[in-house]
Amino acid sequence: MNTIKTREEIEIMRRGGKILGGMLTELRDMCKIGLDIWELEEKFIQQCKKSDAIPACKGYTSMGFMPPFPTGLCISVNEQSVHCFPIKGRKLKDGDLITADTVITYKGLNVDAAFTVGVGKVSSSDTRLMKAAKRALLESIDQVKNGVRVGKISNKMHKVVTEYGFDVLRDYAGHGIGKEMHDFPEIPCYGNASDGPFLKSGMTICIEALVCEGKPKINYKSEWETEMADKKNFVQYEHTVLVTDNGYEIITDFEV
């Protein structure tokens, strides 16, 4: 159950969200041609130590049946999709799209966010792909309010993305968050506006724009790692959001 957060819990998540936002901004600035993506992982582990935060993905075993996730960051490049590992020796190349997705636990509460950024000279179609996904995230977040159904978020997300001629993943979704990284409700990237559970003030949710250039089918490279079956690009933007009486507050404090 996604518990309604207390005032104190919300305050802690705000502080966690500020910390995570600062971390991701710093990591994004490092994403230049020639960077070994393992340096992002090393930097993130240092950032966590400095901020008294736990890298929550590292060692995470989804529902106990997945092998422990090996790293603090999920890093995907180009056709790689969700939950890929940063690999030592993989260097960023001109025109790559890199996604960093991560969760920190701060004083017992989780916050989760993700960005994609282009490296060097990015093609106009990749620029459009990122723009579509950012707009899809922000416009679907804009649906959030006490009493609204989750389907309104999902429906808006899909609508914006398809207007650009791109598509959304079907096999992964956003989620509630709090003491648990993955909590009720599930927030798909597509669906009917009149479907799904109702949002309530004080819930904290992660809205994830999981957007693909081509067909949404994914292949598994390992228990965790995925890639787009058609080898076209994948991008992701994610925020942790607090539901309020009149709307929402973005908890993960950075600009996607």
- 74, 150, 206, 207: residue in contact with Co ion (rule CB under 5 A): 206
Q: Which is nearer to ligand MF3, 100 or 243 (CB)?
A: 100
Residue 243 makes contact with ligand MF3 by CB under 6 A: no
Residue 227 makes contact with Co ion by CB under 5 A: no
- 38, 69, 115, 237: residue in contact with ligand MF3 (rule CB under 6 A): 69
Residue 83 makes contact with ligand MF3 by CB under 6 A: yes
208 is in an annotated binding site: yes
Alpha-carbon distances of 87 from 81, 109, 185, 238, rounded to whole Å: 14, 28, 32, 22
Residue 149 makes contact with ligand MF3 by CB under 6 A: no
- 41, 101, 183, 227: residue in contact with ligand MF3 (rule CB under 6 A): 101
- 24, 37, 75, 103: residue in contact with ligand MF3 (rule CB under 6 A): 103
CB of 123 to ligand MF3, least distance (A): 26
* C-beta atoms surrounding 92 within 10 Å: 22
Q: Per-residue string for binding with ligand MF3, 174-203, x by CB under 6 A?
A: -x----------------------------
Select the binding partner of residue 57 from Co ion, ligand MF3, none (C-beta < 5 to 8 A, by kind). Answer: ligand MF3
The residue at minimum Cβ distance from ligand MF3 is 57
Q: Which is nearer to Co ion, 157 or 206 (CB)?
A: 206
The answer to whether 169 and 76 are in contact (CB under 8 A) is: no
- Site residues (CB under 6 A) for ligand MF3, limited to 107-126: 112, 114
DSSP annotation string for the chain: --PPPPHHHHHHHHHHHHHHHHHHHHHHHH--TT-BTHHHHHHHHHHHHHHT-EETTTT--GGGTSPPP-SS-EEEETTB-TTPPP-TTPBP-TT-EEEEEEEEEETTEEEEEEEEEE-SS--HHHHHHHHHHHHHHHHHHTT--TT-BHHHHHHHHHHHHHHTT-EE-SS--EEE-SSSSSEEEEE-SS--TT-SPBP-TT-EEEEEEEEESS---EEESSSS-EEETT---EEEEEEEEEE-SSSEEE-S-S--
Residue 205 makes contact with Co ion by CB under 5 A: no
* C-beta atoms surrounding 141 within 10 Å: 20
Residue 5 makes contact with ligand MF3 by CB under 6 A: no
Chain-centre distance for alpha carbon 152? 19
112 is in an annotated binding site: yes
- 112, 126, 183, 227: residue in contact with Co ion (rule CB under 5 A): 112
- Residues contributing to the site for ligand MF3 (CB under 6 A): 57, 60, 62, 69, 74, 83, 101, 103, 112, 114, 175, 238
Residues that bind Co ion (CB under 5 A): 112, 206
Annotated binding-site residues for a divalent metal cation read 101, 112, 175, 208, 238
- Residue ranges of the annotated binding site for substrate are 83, 182
